[in-house]
Amino acid sequence: MKIKVFIGVIVIAGFFLLLPQPVDKLQQEPRQVSKFLSKLNNNFILRNVRFYDGDVLYENTDVLVQNNLIAKIEKNQNVSENLVEFDGTNKTILPGFIDAHTHVYGNALKDALNFGVTTELDMFTVPETANQYQSVRENDDNIENADLFSSTILATTRGGHGTEYGLKIPVLETTTEVDDFVRKRIQQGADYIKAVYNSKQADKQFYPSISYEILSTLITVAHHQDRMLLVHVDNLISAREAIMLGADGLVHSFMDSVVDESFIKLMLKKNAFIIPTLSVEASVAQQAVGNNLLDDENIMPFLSNQQKHELKAAFPDFDIPSDGLQNAFKSVKKLSLAGVKILAGTDAPNPGTTHGASLHGELRLLVKAGLNNQEAIHSATGAVRKAFEIGNRGTLKIGAKASMILLDGNPFVDINDTSKISAIWKNGQLVERFKYLDKEPTTIKISPSLISDFNDSIQSTQFGKGIVATTDQFAGGDSIVQLTGLTRNKGDGYLQVHGEVKAGLMFPWSGITFLLSESMQQGVDISNLESISFDAKSNTESQIVSVLIFQQYSFQPLEQTLLLTKDWQNYVIDIKKYGSIDLSNIVNISIVASEKRGDFEFSLDNLSLN
């Protein structure tokens, strides 16, 4: 009897251990492409399919792909029996999309490809990032990422738009610097030059801008060097001036007013194009367009956690008049009707937008603005090919690389069908889409405890990865800092933070940061805690410090400024009161000096979470 019971228990225990477990939390799950589709590689034929080559729509045809290239577009083709055939009845083939306005870093080009965007035109990133992708864009086996073209660093002035992100970039202040600036950009791999311009005549001056003369010189010099010159504007007056001076295109639409007849004529005369970036304009106008994409069952499963965060993010409210977005919509419609080239671009990953998915949202917005479906699709395919020197990208003419998407539907009837992707090919090869598991990686919950009393060490902490120095050198600044362990009465250790905040960046900083978790990939949940407390004093009469709590994936921390005095004092920061960030996913807590330039020195002790 004992034996039987024993065996029974073993069998039951074994059974439960054999039951399947979820795949590792962060691991991506390759999409199950149907077995048949997976054979469609390099050489194959698609029969009876609706086919758009970027300019012309064929309602029902056969498309032959040979050696990764589009070889023949013709009904009832006779091909060798060995060739894999696929019946595409009721399905649609489009060229891989091009997003004509993005900013590339991190996983941008992977995310883009995952949604059928096979080419991205970057409008400002660091050259090191751009170069690694630019150098492989002609390779047939580059099927992990979308192809990249980039302006690298944009042309702006001191304190102008583009400098506020904390990157240290060269700026233009006089016309004499232009020649050198453009030469350097081209050396660093710029495919075209992008400038930020705001006319002196414009109503609003959010940032300083390069002058009219500098813009004029930039256009001349760029054209002389065989590069296009694109302009970022946010109002009609500046747009008119830029096009008048000979700029090739505008990389945004504007919400201040609707385009007039003379501007339309000017655009046509100069053969200039516009990338309206309605996705980001809508987001600036506080329309949560990202949420529509999160609700789309054909999009949601393919978004990474970071992409979801980007789509949920919002701009601060700039008080755009309520008709602002409508102005942009009306302008796009008028320009399109008149025959001005409209190119689809998203400005991802600005708040409310993300690489790949937002291009589908942009097409929907273009249709909403008044383009017909084919015009909208053209703006993300064939039209870009006409405006930019990007080879055959955006088209599927004979001889072009077969970078294309197979849709389970008809986007020429319903633009929402662009997200019904059954297959993506890049350079004739099937791309496996990544599908992400629903669950967010679980964060570690922290119970109230001391972080450090600085008695044994100034760096190691009771939990987390420890305390380290942090300065704006991380973003190209020059501030410095030094951490020293000292003791006060009876050997009680404390941390002295001594350094200098140096001018150079818009937001310089210097101080310490406490990394809450072992890995930057994983946030920590402090939502059940009340406050952060520490003892602190200034070594001078007074010192202003900022306590910053950073959420994962976000650069907008929860901030609290404190005035430290010459005597030790206990400071308690109520974290619940400033609940604008997600406290369940925190990566670090920093205490820094940043208000005033110059030397600073403050001391900390008994840092704890309560």
Partner 1 sequence: MNKGKVIDPVFDKLNLVKPNLINIYYMEAKTETIRLFRTPGFCIPTLLFPIMFYVFFGILFSMNKATMPTYLMITYATFGVIGPALFSFGVGIAIERGQGWFDLKEVSPMPASAYIISRIVLSIIFSLLIIMLLFSIAAIFGDVRLFHSQWILLAIILILGSLPFCAVGMTLGLFLKSSSAPATINLIYLPMGFLSGLWLPINFLPDFMQSFANLLPPYHLAQLSLKVVEMDIGAPIILHIGVLLLYTLFFMFLAMKAYNKKDKQ
Using CB under 8 A, list all residues that contact partner 1.
Answer: 1, 12, 15-17, 19-23, 438
Whichever of 57 and 300 has its CB closer to partner 1, that residue is: 300
Cis peptide bond N-terminal to 301, omega within 30? no
Whichever of 203 and 438 has its CB closer to partner 1, that residue is: 438
What's the closest the beta carbon of residue 369 comes to partner 1, in angstroms? 34
Whichever of 300 and 544 has its CB closer to partner 1, that residue is: 300
What's the closest the beta carbon of residue 293 comes to partner 1, in angstroms? 19
Whichever of 19 and 30 has its CB closer to partner 1, that residue is: 19
Whichever of 47 and 420 has its CB closer to partner 1, that residue is: 420
SS3 578: coil
Whichever of 288 and 437 has its CB closer to partner 1, that residue is: 437
CA torsion 311-431-414-49 (nearest 10°) is 180
Whichever of 140 and 408 has its CB closer to partner 1, that residue is: 408
What's the closest the beta carbon of residue 310 comes to partner 1, in angstroms? 23
Write the DSSP symbol of residue 38: G
SS3 360: helix
What's the closest the beta carbon of residue 33 comes to partner 1, in angstroms? 17
Angle at 388 between CA 382 and CA 394, to 5 degrees: 30
What's the closest the beta carbon of residue 18 comes to partner 1, in angstroms? 9
- Are 45 and 74 in contact by the 8 Å Cβ rule? The answer is no
CA distance 401 to 396: 7
Structural Rg of the chain based on CA atoms:
28
Number of alpha helices (DSSP H) and beta strands (DSSP E) in the chain = 14, 31
CA distance 101 to 175: 27
Whichever of 397 and 435 has its CB closer to partner 1, that residue is: 435
User: Comparing C-alpha atoms, which of 549, 470, 566 is closest to residue 166?
Assistant: 470
Residue 444: Cβ-neighbour burial (10 angstroms; 0-12, 13-18, 19+): middle
Per-residue H/E/C for 244-308: HHCCCEECCCCCCCCCCHHHHHHHHHHCCEECCCHHHHHHHCCCCHHHHHHCCCCCHHHCCHHHH
**Amino acid at residue number 513:** T
CA distance 283 to 522: 28
Helix or strand run (H / E) with residue 177: none
First-last CA distance in the chain? 56
Residue 155 to residues 84, 251, 475, Cα–Cα distance (Å)? 50, 14, 19
Whichever of 23 and 56 has its CB closer to partner 1, that residue is: 23
What's the closest the beta carbon of residue 56 comes to partner 1, in angstroms? 39
Per-residue burial over 507-544, b if 16 or more Cβ lie within 10 Å, else e, is ebbbbbbbbbbeeeebbbbbbebeebbbbbbbeeeebe
What's the closest the beta carbon of residue 366 comes to partner 1, in angstroms? 32
Joined together, the tokens standing for residue 39 give 């054979």
Joined together, the tokens standing for residue 299 give 């999009």
What's the closest the beta carbon of residue 194 comes to partner 1, in angstroms? 42
Evaluated on CA atoms 570, 576, 580, 581, the torsion sign reads positive
The length of the chain is: 610
What's the closest the beta carbon of residue 359 comes to partner 1, in angstroms? 26
What's the closest the beta carbon of residue 19 comes to partner 1, in angstroms? 5
Whichever of 16 and 555 has its CB closer to partner 1, that residue is: 16
What's the closest the beta carbon of residue 110 comes to partner 1, in angstroms? 24
What's the closest the beta carbon of residue 305 comes to partner 1, in angstroms? 17
CA distance 151 to 224: 16
Whichever of 28 and 66 has its CB closer to partner 1, that residue is: 28
Whichever of 9 and 83 has its CB closer to partner 1, that residue is: 9
What's the closest the beta carbon of residue 17 comes to partner 1, in angstroms? 6
Whichever of 29 and 138 has its CB closer to partner 1, that residue is: 29
